[in-house]
Copies of this chain bind each other. A is one copy, B any other.
Amino acid sequence: MKKHNFSAGPCILPQEVFQEASQAVLNFNNSGLSILEISHRSKAFVDVMEEARNLSLELLGLKGKGYQALFLQGGASLEFLMVAYNLLEKKAAYLNTGTWADKAIKEAQLFGEVDVVASSKDKNFNYIPKGYKIPKDADYFHCTSNNTIFGTQMKRFPATSVPLVCDMSSDIFSRQMDFSKFDLIYAGAQKNMGPAGTTLVIIKDDILGKVTRKIPSMLDYKQHIEKESMYNTPSVYPVYVSLLTLRWLKAQGGIAAIEKLNKKKAVLMYSEIDINPLFKGFTANEDRSIMNATFNLKNESLKDQFDKMWKEAGIIGLNGHRSVGGYRASMYNALPLESVQVLVDVMGDLERKA
């Protein structure tokens, strides 16, 4: 039976990507060798890395605009640390929109003063704070564009004179934006970009080199840029599968095209949540994520029945994060509209039966 994978990440990737990725494990580019056994210094892999870096910038509309793309290891969690190590001299401003922002704040506090300009902790992070002020003397402002756990998403970003740093792990490549407003963007691959094991970092060169501390080599963006993202052995296969996914995205028509599909999926999903009397959404309407829709049953006694129904429909990964409960439908780029339709149909069936 066909599976409908609503997992929050690692998550569904395009079926074509799985086919090509599987083949490359046996025979990469007709070399007679597996992608897993080739040297990372071989021309074949250097080409993969180069194309992945260029294509990332191209898809974000950042080519030739003073940005570098890196494929590092350690996930967003290591970036929480690297951002502060590389940029925080005295004070940084952070927006607290949930678990991931909170972790980023905690790491930054090891390196300097952290001004949390606003937080939505008062309502278990079910909205995005607005109207806050960013101090002009901050070394940078850090925010999280989409919160996977709570299902909120920043629709607008503050105008600020300080460098803008954004954790886009769960919505990069999903919607059009003027990415040149950002000075540093990072994203763990395992949502819209590829499998777990690599992290995309997009940096405007000119924000680096301004802190006085000595930065360990592996945490130093400058070192990674200088070595063209090959300071040490990169995560070869995750980078390769990310490239396949980025190529797929380009073939779909890029971010503009995928955004249209993502919006269709989100409209279908949220309409059902709002219309169906058995369910209620978790987040403030204006801050709803088009990637992760969080919702609850109004009547918990229907839980067993509903869970049985969606599982029978081939749906997986629908349980909410333990800190929120309820349900979470993650609708990343590769999730087909059809899968959302299957879920919405199950929700409708429950209404008729209950």
Contact indicator B33/A22 (Cβ below 8 Å): no
Spot the interface stretch: A123-131, A150-158, A236-244, A262-270.
A236-244
**Given A81-B216, A190-B233, A197-B235: A32 and B10 within 8 A (CB)?**
no
Chain B residues positioned under 8 Å from A214 (CB to CB): 110
Number of copies of this chain that the complex holds: 2
- Least CB distance, A203 to chain B, in whole angstroms: 18
Contact indicator B75/A1 (Cβ below 8 Å): no
Chain B residues positioned under 8 Å from A80 (CB to CB): 217-218
Contact indicator A36/B7 (Cβ below 8 Å): no
A: number of interface residues (CB 8 Å): 62
Q: Please, which residue of chain B has its CB at the minimum distance from the CB of A241?
A: B36
- Least CB distance, A265 to chain B, in whole angstroms: 17
Contact indicator B7/A196 (Cβ below 8 Å): no
**Interface 1/0 per residue, A178-192 and B, CB below 8 Å:** 000000000010100
Q: A34 contacts which of B18, B33, B81, B232 (Cβ < 8 Å)?
A: B18
Question: What are 16 A-B interface contacts by the 8 Å CB criterion?
Answer: A5-B33, A10-B36, A10-B37, A10-B39, A12-B37, A73-B73, A73-B74, A73-B197, A73-B235, A77-B217, A81-B217, A190-B233, A196-B235, A197-B198, A235-B235, A238-B238
